[in-house]
Amino acid sequence: MIHPLDFDVAVVGGGPAGSAAASVLARNGRRILVLERERFPRFHIGESQLPWINEVLARIGATGAVAAAGFVEKWGASFTTADGGADQYADFAKACEVPTPRTFQVPRAAFDQVLLEHAANCGAVVLQGRTAVQAAFEDDGVILTYADADGVETRVTVGAIIDASGRAGFLAKRFGERRKDPILQNIAVHRQYEGVPRGEGRRAGDIRMVTRPDKGWFWFIPISATTMSVGIVIPQSVYKLAAKPTPEETLSYFVAETPAAARLVATATPVSPARFDADYSYLHSRHAGDRFVLVGDAGAFLDPIFSTGVLMAMQSGIEAAEVVDEGLRAGDLRARRFAAYERRLVRRYHHFRRFAARFYDPAFRDLFFSPSSRFGIYEAVLSVLGGNWRPSWKTRLRLRAFFFLVALQRIVPLARRQQQPVSSGS
């Protein structure tokens, strides 16, 4: 017997998924321990948010805290071909079934800190600079061992663990396996600049995407009044042929051979070092077990083409918190209680994955750059790009029609082919 418990739930990881889970549980009166191995603020990639994040923030009570941080407002996204010959604006105000079309571009260091502080304000005990070391599962609880920066270990007893440890996979590596997506295997190289031109008025906060015919694409994300996050996502096969000795040289190479991107940074000044990130997509084989649940990147990561990462992570954190809370109330935290949570998480992943994978299909891009307002098909696509993963039956029918047209485009050119070779700058 390990009762009485020190905490009802331990959340391992203080990123958006962990903060969301901790906030929900603490607001429900649960005793929550959050262990974060780093000290915030800390750098993290993934700055562009989607409109459906507003519902998530409202659910955890963080709307005011995020609004007060003064992040750049985002109302849409611009997609441009490599040569700049075609441009398409995705205006979230035109998307169907998107309650609030405005969202934010955020420096993740600041955004994540706001969310973690919010979890603490809700009543969670937040310990930074603490690394989860071991979890011993018993019938009536879990003995969790964690260490501080000096390696000094502490043991606590908890009712359940929510693994929000990201790619570190504290429990994910112990239970099940990480299954990499066979198609979405990419590499990202990125850095921050000042002096990159941006739109005017409401469109000043747009994320701008520059697509390449080799299936790569650039992002340009205004994360402050002066700073722009710039990066390229490139297939591993392309990267291996063009990689340079340093991330700075690699990014410069791809910028130089992409005219539309080169024009945007022509007079810009780098203000951060360049970094590599593995953007391979994966889905874990299991997302829960007796007294544990995986959330966020611990259980799944999807290609960032449509900026779904933080939204999906926080949604999983909220849903995991709700089902764990129900289990605590019922005195039953066995794996079978989490089956519906796992099914929902996998369904959401595949819903967005369908669009992420198809965006790398030239036929998808052809139709996307030549939108038609007939029958509301384009507005339905925008709805998914806004973060809608449970569309109405009418929207689902329009999405099916869109993918039917994509299939036809591969055979018969319904829209102008957008794929053009990029000119090498090396």
- The pLDDT tens digits of the residues spanning 145-173 come to 999 999 999 999 999 999 999 999 999 99
- Tell me, yes or no, whether 40 and 134 share the same domain: yes
Tell me how far apart the alpha carbons of residues 66 and 108 are, in angstroms, rounded to a whole number.
Answer: 12
The whole-angstrom separation of Cα 382 and Cα 90 is: 7
* Percentage of the chain modeled with pLDDT above 70: 96
Question: Which one-letter DSSP state was computed for residue 21?
Answer: H
Over residues 233-266, the pLDDT tens digits come to 999 989 888 888 999 999 999 999 999 999 999 9
Each residue of 333-359: pLDDT tens digit?
999 999 999 999 999 999 999 999 999
Q: What is the mean pLDDT of residues 271-283?
A: 92
CB 4 within 8 A of CB 141: no
* Owning domain of residue 131: 7-71+106-180+282-350
Q: Are 50 and 347 in contact (CB under 8 A)?
A: no
CA pair distance 151, 167, nearest whole angstrom: 22
Tokens representing 420 are 């053009």
Instruction: Give me the pLDDT at residue 373, please.
Output: 64
Give residue-wise pLDDT tens across range 2-55.
Answer: 778 999 999 999 999 999 999 999 999 999 999 999 999 999 999 999 999 999
Q: How many domains does the chain have?
A: 2
The set of residues, in sequence order, having a beta carbon less than 8 Å from that of 201 and lying 6+ positions away, is none
pLDDT at 84: 87
pLDDT classification of 422: cutoffs 50, 70, 90: very low
Report how far Cα 400 is from the mean position of its chain's Cα atoms.
Answer: 25
pLDDT at 425 over 50: no
User: Does position 88 have pLDDT exceeding 90, yes or no?
Assistant: no
Q: Would the pLDDT of 424 be above 80?
A: no
pLDDT at 62 over 80: yes
Alpha-carbon gap, residue 112 to 107, rounded angstroms: 9
Residues 6 or more apart whose Cβ sits within 8 Å of residue 224:
72, 107
- Residue ranges of E strands in 107-164: 125-128, 131-138, 141-147, 153-163
> In the predicted model, is pLDDT for residue 417 greater than 80?
no
Q: 169-173 long-range contacts, Cβ below 8 Å, gap at least 24? A: 169/298, 170/12, 170/13, 170/132, 170/135, 170/298, 171/12, 171/135, 171/292, 171/294, 171/298, 172/284, 172/294, 172/298, 172/299
Q: Are 44 and 126 contained in the same domain?
A: yes
CA-to-CA distance for 403 and 253, rounded, in angstroms?
34
Residue finishing a domain among 252, 278, 304: 278
144 found inside a domain: yes
Single out the residue in 331, 350, 369 at which a domain terminates: 350
Same domain flag for 140 and 167: yes
In percent, the amount of the chain with pLDDT more than 90 equals 83
